[in-house]
Structure 1
Amino acid sequence: MIQGSHHLSPICDSIPGLPCNRCPVMAGGLFSIDKSYFFELGTYDPGLDVWGGENMELSFKVWMCGGEIEIIPCSRVGHIFRNDNPYSFPKDRMKTVERNLVRVAEVWLDEYKELFYGHGDHLIDQGLDVGNLTQQRELRKKLKCKSFKWYLENVFPDLRAPIVRASGVLINVALGKCISIENTTVILEDCDGSKELQQFNYTWLRLIKCGEWCIAPNPDKGAVRLHPCDNRNKGLKWLHKSTLVFHPELVNHIVFENNQQLLCLEGNFSQKILKVAACDPVKPYQKWKFEKYYEA
């Protein structure tokens, strides 16, 4: 059952010993909701195609905009499946569902959409046409909906959803020195956790970020530079702690992703510089660690 804050009824209170279970996400076709409240929420997003993602969209909308989803004790629901679909998908089934999920993510997930894309980065590479999102974003403002961070903290606190893969100072294991930004240059220097220009995030889309700037290699010159961050730019993507399957010997390295030859980030403290060089699993100056790592 889905209820708005001003539509709450004492249904659960009338069943002693059987409290309702709050449910973060419901199944799209199996729910009851007051008709006026459903329309107050804007119904399902009319920009979604056929089906797929509508249960996520409505669930986020209900919780973040003041309502609740509850499983009522002793309730029974039947669901009859047809042998054949009486409808067709505008593209193919998978592409339609993926398009819908991207649309939901862009409207409701806020900064957590990077985590979504990190588990399916082909979705951002394809540049899917999800349609106009203005109406849905305006609806969210009109309903004064809370943030997705609030949803995670208050509705689904058991779900681990870190915004980034790793964060903090980025330390060269052999040298014990940290990457830092000096003017517009990337350098190595003594570690100082209080220094903002030594604070980096390793994102789910495999960028190494400090603010709006990302570490980028210049493979032709073997140098490292700063570049404005762009999630779609494959020239900014690095592999770290994710080479276990195909190159386990490089798991502690930072490997440039978009190059035929394996190139790794390497430190040289005597010159305070960073460079990219052919990966060497035993070369200590190519081993790195972030201050903190997160799992989702």
Structure 2
Amino acid sequence: MCGDGIEMLPCSHVGHAYRSSIIWNDQLREAEKTVSNSYRVAEVWMDEYKDLVFERIGNYTLKTGDVSKVKKFKKENNCKPFEYFLEYVTEIVHLYIPVNLKAKGAIIKPDGKTCLGNCNLNVCLAECKWKGYWQFWEWSSDKEIRQGVNCLIPKENNLVEISECKFNKFVQWDYREDNLIKNIDTGMCLTADEENKLKLAECTGHSEQIWIWERTIKSITNSRRALK
């Protein structure tokens, strides 16, 4: 973005070793520092796309700190916009870019307290936290229910799971006006049984099949207009 080059160097494996959480009691945790760094990168380099990072991380209490020096560097060096970066990278590798979404945010049961979540790649129902990527879902323009590269998909015995989109079929869903989530290929609806376990079942419209998506295409469109 700033006209630099790329060097081909021997590969290395780099990891981030977090300290014990006991050491960091009552202090800023290492994970929070990592999130704060992500905020800083987004604030400086991602232009209007930065909101995609903020809403997925969800912890709006963290601050970016002073990024004025980096923004000054960006301006003085006539760095290209993030849109240029996306266009360049997508010529080399396919990327999922969450634009033109049909719905996004939490998928909530009618009680307003229980949300659809990703529990280590298992679909689960849990108390709504209203922050954090694990309860943030997107209904893409291709009708996939996504979390990044992963999709909600049907599996054997009418169960559902989360798996990488490109390796799976039957990933298209409809979010209907009656608040049912219907898998297009199977014709069955996402259902929470009496034990709050998730499965696919015949679409009946009963309460266990009702889902409220936090922001649908209408509310997304309105929020974009408000930003202009």
Quick check: which has more Rg, 1 or 2? 1
TM-score after normalising by structure 2: 0.50
TM-score after normalising by structure 1: 0.39
